[in-house]
């Protein structure tokens, strides 16, 4: 059993194979956080706590004679608010009498032998694993606000998931102003925070900073999880590195506005609060109703690599769903960087024909295929083919692509509308825009108000029509602007603070409906590249276009940052033209190939412009990718270089789960004259096994991991090398 309750000490103990989480209810019913860390056997982890009398940290009324008893210094599972805990709070609400406080007391618990689900929201699911759920109930009986804390304990995955249900247990309306998913306390220790910031074309740049006293906030108010701040952080020991050191991961499974607050307080204690952003959020919670927060996926590991492996496994096996979860992902060619909007049937077929000869399996028609879509000024909303570009319609094109032996995929951006579209002319009120105010424009488009039921129905009908009418086996689902002027004509003024979250509830519902109805379709998420790269989206789209930046050297940093939380099977990656369209950089085809092969692999360039030699090299790449895909998508990924090394080279490795095969990759980002040999220590091999190293020599796994491997000197423009390490004995 992974969850235990000790009646005597009122302690809850949650255990996974390698981690332990403990909480305790005190004599007043406050729920204290005791411990999250490596397994500690039967140890009662309340022992390190000694309470001191702290100035200016007040005391609950019943404990007014004990100056040391203060909510301002206790480690708590979910915070009270307005009653003397002055740190970052996980919940804020106002009651109809105007009061804005609540003090939560424990009322009971429940243990279930399965994983809880969250109504309307994606969550990590039980895949036949050893998993249990703990539900802790708390209440403030003056405000009549109840809280249920959900814990999903996945033993083999070493993952604990958390979500919160907030209930109006009274008879009057309660307005929720903040409803975070979790509060996680790290009462002792000095921590660094690793977070993943960025911008369009440069997503998820890993940055590591020591915590300073105060509140560190990372958030998105852009109506998507965003290019700017991924909803995922790591808190690790100052000394932690890839191989060792206590490291905690906190990943929010949500694609809309989020906020992560990490506070290092006056007593050197760290508190992390994570969930839907409270900026412009206000939820009208009527009597007897509940609000469910998104889920947070927690892990605690020894070193950053182990932490990443836990997320990779959990996402691959317990987040991604459907036919493509663990199976082969088709090698695709996408026409975007080949034609942009200037596409036509003849050109597309010429690319498709060449692609087929390379061994490509799926042809994807990107933006520009529908009515009036000659640039980004018009057309979004009207999902009917442009017969000038596609004289035989979509079916005509698909038939011909299929006749070549390729599957067909289509780009759509269903959540958007151009003012110049039949949809907008018919339903101007369907776009998000505030009254008496010209809306902010971005890429000449507006966001449809998906919090509305009629918009939901329209999108469901339109997309399901496309998928049932045509032989489409892949959809690239794009989202190309941030949300502003978030106001719904379908909701009263008192409920405008609910629009952003209602939007995501309906988006998940739409995705859920479509993925169940069309299980043969592979959905690839996209938001101007990787602007919505999060665990919420991965529940519906097994892969996400990682970035609009296809330059392999930029991609090294983007894919490096992405790899901390997300498996390579989720990373949409293509070989594109050189010079690269985003950076103008010239790189060899081999380097573009090995970088894209560390993701879902495909091409995005004009094959008509390539030489026979280049086409021949690509044919070899496709063959190679199909051979290594199981280890790239299903194996363990190791980062072998740091961001300091990346000024010279980036190296990474894949190892099959059974350790019989490994693939070592390097790209030299800056060839140095007369440099020291580039040397790496391999990881994850079987120490006793003998491996053949690129067919050049044989070596024990233990030697490769201790004495390492020295690369030959690689010179020229961004050279690369892939080394095959295959067990022979
Ligand atoms: C976004 C995507 C690109 C491409 C364009 C089309 O930017 O990320 O890959 O599909 O839209 O407009």
Would the pLDDT of 30 be above 90? yes
CA 478 / ligand 1 centre spacing (Å):
7
Would the pLDDT of 82 be above 90? yes
Domains of the chain by start residue, with CATH:
3-318 (2.70.98.60), 332-425+452-482+521-631 (3.20.20.70), 645-727 (2.60.40.1180)
Answer whether 408 contacts ligand 1 (Cβ < 6 A).
Answer: no
Supply the pLDDT for residue 636.
98
Would the pLDDT of 520 be above 90? yes
Residue 417, CA distances (Å) to 379, 389, 453 in order:
7, 21, 17
CB 498 within 8 A of CB 490: no
What b/e readout covers 75-94, taking b as 16+ CB neighbours within 10 angstroms? bbbbbbbbbebebbbbbbbb
CA 529 / ligand 1 centre spacing (Å):
7
Would the pLDDT of 377 be above 90? yes
Supply the pLDDT for residue 624.
98
Nearest CA to ligand 1 atom 7: 528
Would the pLDDT of 1 be above 80? no
Mean pLDDT of 364-388: 98
Supply the pLDDT for residue 423.
98
CB 143 within 8 A of CB 315: no
- Which of 199, 365, 370, 480 has most ligand 1 atoms within 8 Å of its beta carbon, as the pocket-test mutant? 480
Confidence bin at 491 (pLDDT 50/70/90)? very high
Confidence bin at 361 (pLDDT 50/70/90)? very high
Please tell me whether the overall predicted TM-score, pTM, comes out greater than 0.75 for this model: yes
pLDDT digits (tens, 9 = 90+) for 106-138: 999 999 999 999 999 999 999 998 999 999 999
CA 638 / ligand 1 centre spacing (Å):
30
User: Percentage of residues in the chain with pLDDT exceeding 70?
Assistant: 100
| Mean pLDDT estimate for the chain | 97
pLDDT digits (tens, 9 = 90+) for 34-62: 999 999 988 999 999 988 899 999 999 99
User: Percentage of residues in the chain with pLDDT exceeding 90?
Assistant: 99
SS3 state at 261: strand
The torsion angles phi and psi of 685, rounded to 5 degrees, stand at: -85, 170
The closest of 107, 71, 116 to 90, measured between CA atoms, is 71
Supply the pLDDT for residue 513.
98
Supply the pLDDT for residue 42.
84
SS3 state at 28: coil
CB 111 within 8 A of CB 134: yes
Mean pLDDT of 361-379: 98
Question: Closest ligand 1 atom to the C-alpha of 529?
Answer: 8
pLDDT digits (tens, 9 = 90+) for 146-180: 999 999 999 999 999 999 999 999 999 999 999 99
Q: What are the residues whose beta carbons fall under 8 Å from the beta carbon of 499, sequence distance 6 or more?
A: 432, 449, 451, 486, 487, 488, 491
Mean pLDDT of 385-403: 98
**CB neighbours of residue 598 within 10 Å:** 24
Supply the pLDDT for residue 425.
98
pLDDT digits (tens, 9 = 90+) for 582-605: 999 999 999 999 999 999 999 999
Confidence bin at 438 (pLDDT 50/70/90)? very high
What is the rounded CA–CA span in Å between residue 390 and residue 396? 8
Supply the pLDDT for residue 355.
98
């Amino acid at each position: 059993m992974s969850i235990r309750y000790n009646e005597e000490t009122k302690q809850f103990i949650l255990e996974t194979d390698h981690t332990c989480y403990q909480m305790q209810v005190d004599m007043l019913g406050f729920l204290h956080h005791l411990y999250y860390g490596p397994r500690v056997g039967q140890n009662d982890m309340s022992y390190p706590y000694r309470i001191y009398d702290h100035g200016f940290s007040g005391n609950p009324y019943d404990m007014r004679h004990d100056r040391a008893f203060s909510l301002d210094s206790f480690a708590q599972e979910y915070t009270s608010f307005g009653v003397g805990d002055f740190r970052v709070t996980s919940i804020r609400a106002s009651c109809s009498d105007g009061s804005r406080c609540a003090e939560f007391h424990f009322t009971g618990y429940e243990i279930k032998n399965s994983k809880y689900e969250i109504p309307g929201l994606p969550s990590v699911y039980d895949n036949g694993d050893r998993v249990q759920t703990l539900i802790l109930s708390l209440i403030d009986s003056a405000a009549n606000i109840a809280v249920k804390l959900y814990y999903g304990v996945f033993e083999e995955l070493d993952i604990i998931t958390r979500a919160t249900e907030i209930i109006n247990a009274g008879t009057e309306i309660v307005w929720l102003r903040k409803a975070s998913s979790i509060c996680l306390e790290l009462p002792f220790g000095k921590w660094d925070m690793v977070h993943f910031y960025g911008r369009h074309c440069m997503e998820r740049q890993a940055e590591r900073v020591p915590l300073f006293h105060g509140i560190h906030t990372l958030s998105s108010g852009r109506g998507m999880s965003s290019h700017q701040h991924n909803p995922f952080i790591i808190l690790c020991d100052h000394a932690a590195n890839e191989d060792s050191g206590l490291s905690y991961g906190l990943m929010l499974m949500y694609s809309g506005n989020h906020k992560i607050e990490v506070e290092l307080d006056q007593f050197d204690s760290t508190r992390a609060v994570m969930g839907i952003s409270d900026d412009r959020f206000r939820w009208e919670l009527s009597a007897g109703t509940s609000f469910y927060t998104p889920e947070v996926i927690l892990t605690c590991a020894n070193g950053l690599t182990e932490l990443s492996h836990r997320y990779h496994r959990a996402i691959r096996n317990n987040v991604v769903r459907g036919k493509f979860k663990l199976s082969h992902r088709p090698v695709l060619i996408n026409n975007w960087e080949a034609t942009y909007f200037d596409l036509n049937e003849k050109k597309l077929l010429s690319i498709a024909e060449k692609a087929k000869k390379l061994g490509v399996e799926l042809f994807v028609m990107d933006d520009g295929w529908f009515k009036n879509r000659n640039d980004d000024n018009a057309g979004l909303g009207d999902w009917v083919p442009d017969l000038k570009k596609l004289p035989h319609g979509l079916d005509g094109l698909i038939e011909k692509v299929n006749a070549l032996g390729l599957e067909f995929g289509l780009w759509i951006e269903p959540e958007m509308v151009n003012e110049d579209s039949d949809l907008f002319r018919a339903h101007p009120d369907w776009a998000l825009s505030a009254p008496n105010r010209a809306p902010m424009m971005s890429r000449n488009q507006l966001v449809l108000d998906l919090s509305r039921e009629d918009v939901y129905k329209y999108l469901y009908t339109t997309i399901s029509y496309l998928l049932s009418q045509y032989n489409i086996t892949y959809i690239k689902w794009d989202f190309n602007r941030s949300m502003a002027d978030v106001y719904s004509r379908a909701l009263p003024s008192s409920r405008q603070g609910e629009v952003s979250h209602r939007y995501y509830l309906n988006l998940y519902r739409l995705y859920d409906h479509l993925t169940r109805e069309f299980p043969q379709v592979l959905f690839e998420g996209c938001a101007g590249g990787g602007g919505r790269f999060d665990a919420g989206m991965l529940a519906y789209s097994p892969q996400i276009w990682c970035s609009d930046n296809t330059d392999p050297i930029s991609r090294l940093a983007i894919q490096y940052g992405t790899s901390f939380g997300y498996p390579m099977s989720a990373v949409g990656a293509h070989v594109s033209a050189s010079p690269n369209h985003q950076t103008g950089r010239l790189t060899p085809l081999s380097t573009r190939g090995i970088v894209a092969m560390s993701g879902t692999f495909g091409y995005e360039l004009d094959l008509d412009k390539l030489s026979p030699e280049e086409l021949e090299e690509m044919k070899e790449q496709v063959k190679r990718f199909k051979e290594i895909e199981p280890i790239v998508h299903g194996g363990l990924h190791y980062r072998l270089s740091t961001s300091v090394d990346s000024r010279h080279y980036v190296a990474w490795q894949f190892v099959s789960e059974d350790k019989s095969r490994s693939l070592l990759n390097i790209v030299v980002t800056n060839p140095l004259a007369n440099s020291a040999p580039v040397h790496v220590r391999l990881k994850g091999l079987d120490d006793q096994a003998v491996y053949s190293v690129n067919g050049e020599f044989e070596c024990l796994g233990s030697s490769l991991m201790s004495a390492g491997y020295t690369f030959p000197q690689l010179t020229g423009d961004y050279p690369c090398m892939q080394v095959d390490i295959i067990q022979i004995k």
